Amino acid sequence: MRVAASDAEREKVVELYELYGPAIRRRCLRLLGDKEAGNDATQEVFIRLLGNVRKLETREMAIRWMYRVSVNHCLHLIRNRARRSCEPMTAAAEPRTSGAIDFIADRQLAQKVLSRFDARTRVVVVGVYVAGMEHAEVAKLLGISRTSVQRTLRRFSINSRKYLHRTHELEAEADPGSAAEPMRRSG
C-alpha cells in the first residue's frame, strides 16, 4: 500500500530536483545517449524519490540514492534495448554509413560484455567509462572504497579481455576462411 507524500516530503523532493535534477539529467543523457530518454529517466528517478524520500534521512543519503537509482534505471533501459535489438530495424532507423554500423556493432558488443558481470561491476564500469565519473565519485555513490572501484575496473578489464579473446577465437574456428581483423590490444 502506497502512502501519499506529505507536503514537507514533496517540498524536499522539489528542493532536491532544483539542486540535482540537472546533474541527474546529464547522467541519464550520457548513459542513454538520447535526450528524450534521458528526460524520461530523470522524471522516473524523481517519481521514485517521492515514494522513498521519508527513508532518506540526510541530503547525502538522498544524493547517493538518486545517483544509484538513475544509473540502475538507465542500465535497465539499456539492457531492455539490447534485448529488443534482435528485432529488425525499420528503414528510418537503419544506419546510413559504415561508421554508424560500426558504432552499433561496438555498442552491442559492449552491452554483451557488460551483461556478463554483476550489477555493481556494471555500475562501476558505466559510471567511469561511459558517464566519465571519477573513481572517488563512483565509490561515494556506491558506498565502497576508491580501491574497490579500482579493483573492480581491473577485474572487469582482465575478464572482459579474456571473454573477447575467446569469442574471437570461436568466431575464427567457425569461419576459418574469413580474414577477420585481429583483436587490438590496448596498453
pLDDT in tens, the chain (187 residues): 455 668 888 898 899 899 889 989 988 888 888 899 999 999 999 999 988 888 888 888 888 889 889 988 888 888 777 666 654 433 334 444 445 555 567 777 777 888 888 888 888 888 888 777 789 888 887 788 999 999 999 999 999 999 888 877 777 777 665 544 554 444 4
Q: Look at residue 85 in the predicted model and tell me its pLDDT.
A: 60
* 77 and 110 co-located in one domain: no
CA pair distance 24, 72, nearest whole angstrom:
12
Number of domains in the chain: 2
Q: Look at residue 175 in the predicted model and tell me its pLDDT.
A: 67
Structural domain span for residue 157: 96-187
Q: Look at residue 95 in the predicted model and tell me its pLDDT.
A: 41
Residues 6+ apart with CB under 8 A from 183: 164, 165, 168
From 185, 184, 70, select the one nearest 126 (Cα to Cα): 70
Q: Look at residue 167 in the predicted model and tell me its pLDDT.
A: 79
Among 87, 106, 122, where does a domain finish? Answer: 87
From 86, 128, 77, 117, select the one nearest 104 (Cα to Cα): 86
* 72 and 128 co-located in one domain: no
* 61 and 25 co-located in one domain: yes
Q: Look at residue 187 in the predicted model and tell me its pLDDT.
A: 45
> CATH number, domain at 65?
1.10.1740
Q: Look at residue 152 in the predicted model and tell me its pLDDT.
A: 94
Q: Look at residue 115 in the predicted model and tell me its pLDDT.
A: 84
CA pair distance 117, 104, nearest whole angstrom:
21
